[in-house]
């Protein structure tokens, strides 16, 4: 089983390079499969929280970050972006989307 350090966080692949270009020396390691999945789930929560706290100007950028983590989670589950879209499209065809802004308040 992986050692899941409480320190550090999952970062995008190019972040260590960007840190080096700015003159610092990043300390990193590659997470094992179990830790990676846990850290991706943590990252999803982090990115969703950032989206929920964003103003309208920064919301699209934060939403793109959510999508990047969702894509990584899907790939980790063995589902590529096209298959994920097919699943989403199938559910939308079966149950609809959210475009009509319907709010359910219960049954009579």
Q: What is the pLDDT of residues 19-44, one digit of tens each?
A: 999 999 999 999 999 999 999 999 99
Alpha-carbon distance 73 to 26, whole Å? 25
Q: In the CATH hierarchy, which fold is given to the domain comprising 15-95?
A: Helix Hairpins (1.10.287)
Alpha-carbon distance 105 to 64, whole Å? 31
28 and 15 Cβ atoms separated by less than 8 Å: no
Write down the pLDDT at residue 63: 97
Write down the pLDDT at residue 7: 85
pTM of the model as a whole: 0.85
What would the two tokens of residue 17 be?
A: 């390079």
For residue 72, CA distances in Å to 46, 60, 67, 84, 86 come to: 14, 19, 9, 11, 17
Going by pLDDT thresholds of 50, 70 and 90, the confidence category of residue 5 is low
Domain assignments of the chain as residue spans, ordered by start? 15-95
Going by pLDDT thresholds of 50, 70 and 90, the confidence category of residue 6 is low
């Amino acid at each position: 089983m992986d050692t899941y350090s409480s320190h550090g966080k999952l970062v995008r692949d190019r972040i260590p390079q960007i840190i080096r270009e700015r003159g610092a020396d990043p300390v990193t390691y590659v997470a094992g499969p179990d830790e990676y999945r846990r850290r991706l789930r943590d990252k999803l929560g982090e990115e969703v929280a950032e989206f929920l706290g964003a103003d309208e100007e920064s919301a699209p950028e934060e939403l793109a970050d959510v999508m990047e983590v969702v894509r990584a989670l899907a790939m980790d589950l063995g589902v590529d972006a096209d298959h994920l879209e097919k699943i989403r499209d199938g559910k939308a065809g079966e149950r609809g989307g959210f475009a009509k802004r319907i709010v359910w308040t219960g049954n009579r």
